[in-house]
Amino acid sequence: MSAPHYDEPRSSHTLEQGLPTNSHANSPRMRISPAILRAPKQLSTPLRMSSTKVLTVDNINPQVVTMQYAVRGPIVIRAVELEKELARGANKPFKSVIKANIGDAHAMGQHPITFVRQVLSCVTNPSLMETGKFPKDVIEHSKAVLSECGGHSTGAYSQSTGVEIIRRHIAEYITKRDGIPSDPENVAISGGASESIRNVLKMFVTHGGGKKVGVMVPIPQYPLYSASIEEYALGQVGYYLIEEKNWGLDVNELERAYQESLENYDTKVMVVINPGNPTGQVLSRENMEEIVKFAHKHKLFLMADEVYQDNVYADNSEFHSFKKVINEMGAPYNKMELASFHSVSKGYMGECGMRGGYVELSNLDPDIYVLYKKMISAKLCSTVLGQIVMDCMVCPPKPGDPSHDQWLKEKTAVLASLKERARLVQKAYGSIEGILCNEVQGAMYAFPQILMPPRAVEKARSLNQEPDFFYAMQLLESTGVCIVPGSGFGQKEGTYHFRTTILPQKEVMKDMLARFTSFHQKFLEEYK
């Protein structure tokens, strides 16, 4: 078999069948671009060939056809192609591709935290601990973890929920963060937070028995949710974030979305992403209490995606965990079922490739927790090294430890630089004619709005593309800047956005903003 291109091909009937605009009956509809669903290249297989195969586009799991994950969609695929073309010496109007499509800090030049990497080298190669070259706390940390690994090796399976000492450390970290006790038995470590999020969603699958369970997700949302909801044949119930209120949540809008969903779904789950992805807002305590009351009123299971909890930049913003809020609100809210997620991929470490994440489950029926553990056991366990990175995150050097000062210095520098870049991005986009950009209070993204000239909308439609997809592809082809069109995250009808990370290092960021500004001016000129 020759290597097919990495893109999303669709025969037209499956395209139409599967469009989230049709399958998600309740508004706000996920307005995912048909251009994202369709391939930039033609299908490589004529239909007649499919018929000789056991597995074809016509009989594959239909949810696999319809699910989409825009963060790694056609724009990104084209960006990778462009990089290769440049490497082969192709003549382009730019010298490099700048990937602002994904929250991948190391790929954009952020350096790892020394303490984390010293521990990793010691736990993988324990003979290094005898060389006298590593600080005492690195060695103690490494030995403590290894002492609870099977055969004292990171090459042994852990329990399905993770190495016990690491779950204890996570529980201690949460306890300290919230001032509310956390039980290590309620913590399950996973290969990134994504895996835990998908595991929790999976518990709500009905397999055609009765109405689909509706899952409330913000619009715009992180496409992991729309992709997994589609894959699991759950029902996506979008609630709009209020752009004019810096992407805050409005209870009336939640109520509207919930009520409209009931016609099609048994809505039981509510996802909140705080700090927001792709929107960069940090929820106020007051807003969170309103959300909790809403969720309690309708007996919703809360999924709190809190992977950006260390990424808060705005002076007036502060991160509060949902666990803390429900507990401080007291009865009856403190008994609400809650799954909270965290990750080593974001924060100040940015260790995406390590795949470390966890879920803390609160107030679940104890039997469900048992079933959850059974469900994840068939996958054996998550990467032990990813778990150890998590351990470094929740159990970092303490004041007085030999590694503490360097660790603190590195951590502070990363967070300060992210804060600076958050402001730089907001200021730059905010000052461009025809672009609106909210404050980036937290997380790693801005989600600016493009005031799209009507002629550009027409042009895009004539190409059967969403206008923001058209814009993003033009931007990429003419400047090498790779961002993700807002239609991949969802947005209000008739509005157009894009998500950009704040991760390019400062010089690259300036270069990116200059390329963008110049492109945007020409674009306005062309379509005014």
Assess contact for 470 and 488: CB atoms under 8 A: no
SS (H, E, C) 162-227: CCHHHHHHHHHHHHHHHCCCCCHHHEEEECCHHHHHHHHHHCCCCCCCCCEEEEEEEECCCHHHHH
Q: How far is the CB of 280 from a copy of itself (least distance, A)?
A: 20
- Give the whole-angstrom CA distance, residue 496 versus residue 239: 17
CB of 379 to a copy of itself, least distance (A): 5
Q: Toward a copy of itself, which CB reaches closer, 415 or 432?
A: 415
Give dist(CA 60, CA 54) in Å, integer: 9
Q: Which two tokens stand for residue 200?
A: 């929790």
Q: Which stretch binds a copy of itself (CB under 8 A): 139-147, 299-307, 455-463, 515-523?
A: 299-307
CA–CA separation, 411 and 415 (whole Å) = 6
Identity of the residue numbered 259: Q
Taking the C-alpha atoms of residue 482 and residue 499, their distance in angstroms, rounded to an integer, is 10
Q: Is 3 in the site for a copy of itself (CB under 8 A)?
A: yes
Cβ of residue 525: shortest distance to a copy of itself, in angstroms? 35
Closest Cα to residue 338, out of 464, 447, 200? 200
Q: Are 377 and 371 in contact (CB under 8 A)?
A: no
Taking CB under 8 A as the criterion, the residue among 49, 413, 416, 514 binding a copy of itself is 49
Residues numbered 123-142 forming contacts with a copy of itself, rule: CB under 8 A: 124-125, 128, 131, 133
Is residue 151 left, alpha or beta, with left meaning phi > 0 and alpha meaning psi from -120 to 50?
left
Q: List CB contacts of 326: < 8 A, sequence separation 6 or more.
A: 292, 302, 333, 334, 336, 338, 362
* Interaction of residue 7 with a copy of itself, rule CB under 8 A: yes
| Residue 69 phi, psi (nearest 5) | -140, 90
Nearer to a copy of itself, 212 or 497 (CB): 212
Nearest approach, Cβ of 16 to a copy of itself (angstroms)? 17
- Closest contact distance (angstroms) between CB of 311 and a copy of itself is 16
Interface residue with a copy of itself, options 168, 268, 419, 492 (CB under 8 A): 268
Looking at residues 372 to 401 of the shown chain, list those that interact with a copy of itself (rule: CB under 8 A). Answer: 372-375, 377-386
> Considering only residues 77-106, where is the footprint of a copy of itself by CB under 8 A?
102, 104-106
What is the DSSP-derived secondary structure letter of residue 149? S
Alpha carbon 27 to chain centroid, angstroms: 23
Judged by CB under 8 A, the stretch of 45-53, 250-258, 317-325, 486-494 that binds a copy of itself is 45-53
Of the two residues 248 and 490, which places its CB atom closer to a copy of itself in the complex? 490
H-run or E-run covering 118: helix 114-124
Q: Using the rule CB under 8 A, which residue among 22, 64, 179, 409 binds a copy of itself?
A: 64
Give me the sign of the Cα torsion angle 130, 133, 136, 137.
negative
Closest approach of Cβ 503 to a copy of itself, in Å?
A: 10
Amino acid letter for position 162: G
**Closest distance of CB 431 from a copy of itself, Å:** 29
Q: Which stretch binds a copy of itself (CB under 8 A): 112-120, 277-285, 407-415, 512-520?
A: 112-120
Q: Is residue 17 a contact residue for a copy of itself (CB under 8 A)?
A: no
The correct pick among 21, 23, 27, 45 for binding a copy of itself (CB under 8 A) is 45
In the complex, least distance from residue 517 CB atom to a copy of itself, rounded to whole angstroms? 26
Q: Which of 22, 60, 431, 526 binds a copy of itself (CB under 8 A)?
A: 60
Phi, psi of 358 (to 5 degrees): -150, 165
Question: For a copy of itself, which stretch binds (CB under 8 A), given 25-33, 63-71, 272-280, 466-474?
Answer: 63-71
Task: Give the nearest distance from C-beta 486 to a copy of itself in angstroms.
Answer: 18
Among the listed ranges 296-304, 409-417, 483-491, 492-500, the one in contact with a copy of itself (CB under 8 A) is 296-304
Q: Does 264 bind a copy of itself (CB under 8 A)?
A: no
Phi then psi for 265, rounded to 5 degrees? -130, 160
Per CB under 8 A, the list member of 26, 33, 186, 196 interacting with a copy of itself is 186
Number of residues counted as binding a copy of itself (CB under 8 A): 122
**Does the protein bind a copy of itself through residue 15 (CB under 8 A)?**
no
Q: Which of residues 327-366 bind a copy of itself (CB under 8 A)?
A: 335, 337, 349-355, 361-366
* The binder of a copy of itself chosen from 194, 196, 340, 501 (CB under 8 A): 194
C-beta of 209 vs 400, nearer to a copy of itself: 209
Structural tokens at position 171: 């529980």
Q: Which is nearer to a copy of itself, 286 or 365 (CB)?
A: 365
- The CA-atom distances, in angstroms, between 308 and each of 10, 156, 286, 362 are 35, 30, 19, 20
Give CA–CA dist 133/145, Å, rounded.
Answer: 19
Q: 396 Cβ partners below 8 Å, 6+ apart? A: 115, 407, 411
CB atoms inside a 10 Å sphere around CB 13: 9
Q: Which of residues 205-244 bind a copy of itself (CB under 8 A)?
A: 205-209, 223-224, 227-228, 231, 233
Query: Quick check: 329 and 291 in contact, CB under 8 A?
Result: no
- Of 85, 136, 157, 175, the one binding a copy of itself (CB under 8 A) is 157
Site for a copy of itself in 412-471 (CB under 8 A): none
Q: How far is residue 462 from each of residues 8, 43, 126, 178, 235, measured CA to CA in Å? A: 20, 21, 62, 53, 31
The Cα–Cα gap between 164 and 92 comes to 53
Shortest approach of a copy of itself to residue 128 CB, angstroms?
6
Nearer of residues 94 and 369 to a copy of itself, judged by Cβ: 369
Pairing of strands 496-501, 449-450: antiparallel
